[in-house]
Amino acid sequence: MLFALMALLATAWFWYDSLGAREAANAAALETCGSTGAALLDGTVAFRRLEMVRVAGGSLGFRRTYVFDYTRDGATRQQGFVVMTGRSVDTVGL
């Protein structure tokens, strides 16, 4: 019973943390597109990859990669990415 409760709490925490990371990735993609004159298509990022990594202090954390589509000319769809460690943005690429 205790194990089931702990598993449920861990799942809920992971889901909540993933929502926060996705919101930060959306904001980073929108800001990057806006600052470069590109337009973010579909208005959101999509989850692509999850990795366990060592973060500052040596503890384990999650690195998530999100992808998004953008256009610079209104006709050509290109794909960009946002790499997040925890809720902080590591890299945004166009």
- Cα angle 53, 57, 63 (rounded to 5 degrees) comes to 25
Sole residue written with tokens 């000319």: 73
pLDDT value at 51 more than 90: yes
Say which amino acid occupies 43.
Answer: G
pLDDT value at 86 more than 90: no
pLDDT of residue 67: 98
Domain ranges of the chain: 2-93
Q: What's the pTM? A: 0.89
C-alpha to C-alpha distance for 35 and 75, rounded to whole angstroms: 19
- Distance from chain centroid for Cα 17: 11
Q: How do strand 60-71 and strand 78-85 relate by DSSP bridges?
A: antiparallel
- The percentage of residues in the chain with a pLDDT greater than 70, rounded to a whole number, is 100
